[in-house]
Chains A and B, each alone.
Chain A
Amino acid sequence: MDLLEYQGKQLFARHGLAVSDGKAVTTVDDAVTAANEVGYPVVVKAQVLIGGRGKAGGVKLAANEGEAREHAGNILGMDIRGHTVRTLWIEHASDIASEYYASVLLDRQAKQPMVIFSVEGGVEIEQVAETHPDKLVRHHVDALTGLSREEAVEIATEGGADADVIEGVADALVALYEVWLAEDATLAEINPLIVTPPLPDDGTGGGGRRVKALDAKVSLDGNALYRHPENQGLSDSENEDPIERRAKEEGVQYVKLDGDIGILGNGAGLVMSTLDVVAQAGGSPANFLDAGGGSDAAKIKQAVELILANDAVKAVLFNIFGGITRCDEVAKGLIAAFEEIKPSVPFVVRLDGTNDTQGRELLQEASLPNVHAAATMNEAAEKVVALAAGAQASAGAAA
Chain B
Amino acid sequence: MSVLVDETTRLCVAGMTGKEGSFHTLNNRRYGTNVVGGVTPGKGGQDVEGIPVFDGWEQAATAAQPNTAMIFVPPRFAADSILEAASVGVELVIAITEGIPAHDELRVHNTLKRDYPNTRLIGPNCPGILSPGKANVGIIPASFFKEGNVGVVSRSGTLTYQIGNEIAQAGFGCSTIVGIGGDPVPGSSFVDILELFEADEQTELIVLSGEIGGSAEEEAADYIADSVSKPVVAYIAGFTAPAGKQMGHAGAIVSGSAGTAAAKAQALEAKGVRVGRTPTEVAEIAVEILGAVAADR
Contact = CB atoms under 8 A, between A and B. Distances in A.
Interface range on chain A: under 10, 10 to 19, 20 to 34, or 35 or more?
35 or more
A3 to B, nearest CB: 15
B251 A323 contact: no
B102 A106 contact: yes
Contact of B240 (A270, A275, A322, A377): A275
Interface stretch (B33-41, B149-157, B197-205): B149-157
A126 B257 CA distance: 11
Contacts of B24: 324
A354 B241 CA distance: 28
Contacts of A120: none
Contact of A109 (B76, B144, B219, B238): B219
B290 to A, nearest CB: 20
Given A272-B238, A378-B280, A321 B161 contact: yes
Interface stretch (A66-74, A199-207, A261-269): A261-269
A315 B42 CA distance: 50
Interface range on chain B: under 10, 10 to 19, 20 to 34, or 35 or more?
35 or more
A288 B279 contact: no
Interface string A95-136: 000000000001011011100000000000010000000000
B99 interface: yes
- Most interface-central of B158, B184, B251 (chain A CB within 10 A): B158
B240 A321 contact: no
Contacts of B279: 273, 277, 377
Interface string A365-379: 000000000001110
B237 interface: yes
A234 interface: no
A79 interface: no
Contacts of A144: 107, 110-111, 114
B118 interface: no
Interface string B274-290: 00011110000000000
B247 A255 contact: yes
Contacts of A354: 141
A271 B100 CA distance: 21
A33 interface: no
Contacts of A268: 156, 182, 211, 247-249, 252
Interface string B228-252: 0000000101111110011111111
Contacts of B249: 268-269
B103 A279 contact: no
B16 interface: no
B277 A321 contact: no
Nearest to B277: A280
Contact of B139 (A143, A269, A324): A324
Contact of B278 (A221, A290, A378): A378
A142 interface: yes
A143 B101 CA distance: 14
Task: Say whether chain A's binding surface is mostly helix, strand, loop, or mixed.
Answer: mixed
Contacts of B215: 108-109
A324 B76 CA distance: 21
Given A257-B242, A268-B249, A108 B100 contact: no
Interface in B252-293: 252, 256, 261, 277-280
A293 B256 contact: no
Contacts of A265: 158
Interface in B124-179: 127, 139-141, 144, 154-162, 165
Contact of A143 (B20, B110, B245, B261): B110
B25 to A, nearest CB: 13
Given A106-B185, A144-B111, A288-B248, A377 B241 contact: no
A325 B158 CA distance: 10
Given A223-B102, A288-B248, A293 B184 contact: no
A269 B215 CA distance: 16
A208 B245 CA distance: 44
A288 B109 CA distance: 30
A143 B184 contact: no
A353 B240 contact: no
Contacts of A270: 156-159, 162, 237
B6 interface: no
A126 B157 CA distance: 34
B277 to A, nearest CB: 7
A278 B239 CA distance: 11
A109 B215 CA distance: 7
22 contacts: A109-B214, A186-B102, A223-B99, A224-B104, A255-B245, A268-B247, A269-B154, A269-B156, A271-B248, A272-B248, A273-B235, A276-B237, A277-B278, A277-B279, A279-B240, A293-B139, A293-B157, A321-B158, A323-B141, A323-B157, A324-B20, A377-B279
Question: Can you list the 8 inter-chain pairs with the closest CB atoms, starting with the nearest?
Answer: A269-B156, A268-B248, A267-B158, A224-B101, A269-B159, A270-B158, A272-B237, A268-B249
Interface of B: 20, 24, 75-76, 98-104, 106-107, 109-111, 114, 127, 139-141, 144, 154-162, 165, 182, 184-185, 209, 211-212, 214-215, 219, 235, 237-242, 245-252, 256, 261, 277-280
